[in-house]
Structure 1
Amino acid sequence: MTARLTRALGLALVHVLAQTLLGFAVLFWTDRTSSARIVALVLVVVCSMSWGFADGRRDRLRHGDRSETDFPILWLQAAVIGGLVAGAATWLCDLLPYLSLGRNSLLFELTAGAGWIVLLIYVPAMVGVGAGRVRANRVLARGA
């Protein structure tokens, strides 16, 4: 339970922080909005992928071919919880003055917004888990 909550809350925090920084960028750097959006997107994807990479590598080095953890389910649960938490937190942050995060409704943030966040967390994490296992295989093959 704590593994998925740690991942969910950590990546929700990363997403809300990226959205908040993007909101400030939209207000103060109107000419660089598109590049700020790309940076915010890359930040969330890189954090998710690197965490997945660490999970896959650590699991393969500890347990070899038999995995102790079901990473697709773990990361799916973390992504859904993180998406819902990030959607609600983004909506709350949008209520603050001088911070424009899109002015979306709570229903939008908990459905479409959360769905997008789930994809931003889950897909890169699964790519990271696979890459981490491949990297660990190379380390194990070199050491054997």
Structure 2
Amino acid sequence: MHQWLVRGIVMSIIVIAVRFALGEFVSNFPEESPTYRTLALLIVVLVALIWGGVDGLWDARKNPDPDDYEDLTMRWLKAGLFAGVVSCLVCFILGTYWLKGMGQSSFFIDMTAGTSFITLLIYVPAFIGVSVGRYLIRRDLRKKELAAQDAAERAGDTGALSTSGTTVPVTAGIDGSSATGGASSAAASGSATATALAYRPTETIATTAAAGGAAAGGAAAGRSAKRGLRGARRGKKSATETAAVAATTAAAGSSEASGSVAVPAGAHLPLADPNQVPEGFPIKGNADSGLYHTPESPWYSQTVAEMWFATEEAAQAAGYSHPER
């Protein structure tokens, strides 16, 4: 059975039951008629709102990519229209032949104005519930992605610093002997290192900087590959686009290690202050998600830019996608 038909049948039964109860209460307690009518409307609205919210939550969990969402708008529009026609028809028949207190109007009014009112009474709350449910799931997923991204970057940065810290060479001391960390105690190694730095500072510092840059470049390339794989598993991008994003960021990491700058056309590497926008490059590109964000995007301020772009076309050419396409 179609999903919209199930919802239409259930909502028809609820509307018929509510109208029957309303007729009984109004007949016995006419002075409380406004209160009972308000309660009857709230019952129908709350059922549609909650059911629509559950549909939105379920759909967003099943399909993390908004492009894969099911068409819940048409589902609930059909359900509301079905419930409006069936409930008004049944209530007219019951009110005409069996239950005189149902308060039915003429057949034409019930099947036009009554059907339209019931349809909107079900569809609008259900649509709001669907939107809220999807928003809550997308917000949670976004928080998890940002947390995972930050954790991966911290782990990569820590590994790069640790690696570069162990590559400081120790050259010959003043007495001509060679000092190595594995053959001497920590104190002796520290002393020899200090002596070497004092005796040949230029060579030692250059070697350390080169080693640190190579380690940082390797870490950046490794993070890029992992992010590309995560993006492919989530199904957010095609294999070609994912590879392009990973290759772009990996190339940037390699260029940092070698001291040169190689970026795609229309792109700019992050500045020393990662939050500072390069002049003429306002669009943020995030390799972890494979998405780019314009200043109008609701996620712009939360996104860590690993590449800046001048135009959306430049971001798309580098393999990035718009978050809502």
Matched residues in 2 for 1:63 and 1:133: separation? 10
Structure 1 residue 67, shift from structure 2 partner: 3.2
State the AA in 2 paired with 1:57: L
Structure 1 residue 93, shift from structure 2 partner: 2.2
Whether the 8 Å CA contact 1:61–1:140 is kept in 2: the answer is no
SS class of match (1:120): helix
Structure 1 residue 99, shift from structure 2 partner: 4.1
Report 1:2-81 matches (<5 A).
Answer: 2-64=2-64, 65-81=66-82
Structure 1 residue 70, shift from structure 2 partner: 0.8
The two structures, once aligned, show a CA RMSD in angstroms of 1.6
**How many residues are treated as equivalent by the alignment?**
144
Partner of residue 89, structure 1: 90
Counterparts in 2 of 1:3 and 1:98: CA distance versus 1, 3 Å: closer
Unaligned 5+ segments in structure 2 are: 146-325
TM-score norm. by structure 1 comes to 0.91
Matched residues in 2 for 1:98 and 1:25: separation? 13
Structure 1 residue 95, shift from structure 2 partner: 2.5
1:119 aligns with 2:116: no
Output one character per residue of 1:85-131: Cα deviation in whole Å (capped at 9) or x when no partner: 01111112212545412231222211110000011011111001001
Structure 1 residue 139, shift from structure 2 partner: 3.4
Structure 1 residue 12, shift from structure 2 partner: 1.1
State the AA in 1 paired with 2:32: R
Whether the 8 Å CA contact 2:57–2:133 is kept in 1: the answer is yes
Sequence identity (%) = 28
Matched residues in 2 for 1:98 and 1:86: separation? 14
State the AA in 2 paired with 1:84: V
Matched residues in 2 for 1:83 and 1:103: separation? 14
Counterparts in 2 of 1:24 and 1:4: CA distance versus 1, 3 Å: same
Counterparts in 2 of 1:66 and 1:10: CA distance versus 1, 3 Å: same
Matched residues in 1 for 2:99 and 2:8: separation? 28
More helix by share: 1
Matched residues in 2 for 1:100 and 1:44: separation? 20
Structure 1 residue 31, shift from structure 2 partner: 1.8
After TM superposition, the runs of 4+ consecutive aligned structure 1 residues lying more than 6 A away are: none
SS class of match (2:102): coil
Q: Which moved more, 1:90-99 or 1:41-50?
A: 90-99
State the AA in 2 paired with 1:43: I
SS class of match (1:100): helix
State the AA in 1 paired with 2:53: F
Whether the 8 Å CA contact 2:60–2:69 is kept in 1: the answer is no
Matched residues in 1 for 2:43 and 2:97: separation? 23
Whether the 8 Å CA contact 2:91–2:104 is kept in 1: the answer is no
Question: Which of 1 and 2 has higher RCO (CA within 8 Å, sep 6+)?
Answer: 1
Structure number, greater radius of gyration: 2
